[in-house]
Structure 1
Amino acid sequence: MAELKENTARVIEVTAKDLPLHCPTPDQVKWNSHPRVYLPILKNGGEALCPYCGTQYKFTGPLPHGHH
């Protein structure tokens, strides 16, 4: 099992395997996190900002099939 991370990163790069994107992500510690919020990163030009913690997400890599 992968080690869980504190939700302290300010910029996180995500790929198609992370979609649908939500914060906190599955590899972050849950006990001290905020409620899960889904972020429409592809509709926002490949970037999204969590309204709870301010973490910025940047999409990298190829788009998933079915997206232009």
Structure 2
Amino acid sequence: MSNTSTQPVEVTAADVQGEGVVFCPNPKMPLWSNHPRVFINLSKSGEGKCPYCGTVYKLKDGEHLHHH
């Protein structure tokens, strides 16, 4: 059974760590779908895909990452 969703998980700039990183599995995922935590960089294209479960994370339209 795959946890792959057809819709990307939309994140805001406030959800992002550092300069554009989110982690998967995210806190909203059910416990049965846990896998090792991976960090997905959204800073280049605004989206990224988890290599374990295939979940796509995408920066919401209109959101901008603040680089230091």
TM (norm. structure 2) is 0.69
Superposition deviation, residue 17 in structure 1? 1.6
Greater relative contact order: 1 or 2 (C-alpha under 8 angstroms, separation 6 or more)? Answer: 2
SS of residue paired to 2:41: coil
Give the aligned CA root-mean-square deviation in angstroms.
2.1
Q: Give, in whole Å, the separation in 2 of the partners of 1:32 and 1:64.
A: 28
Percent identity reads 48
- Structure 1 unpaired stretches of 5+: 1-6
Superposition deviation, residue 31 in structure 1? 4.1
Give the paired residue count: 60
Q: Name the residue aligned to 1:17.
A: 14
The 5 Å alignment of 1:1-68 reads 9-10=5-6, 11-20=8-17, 21-42=22-43, 44-60=44-60, 61-65=62-66, 67=67
Q: Which has the higher helix share?
A: 2
Q: Which has the higher strand share?
A: 2
Superposition deviation, residue 64 in structure 1? 3.6
TM (norm. structure 1) is 0.69
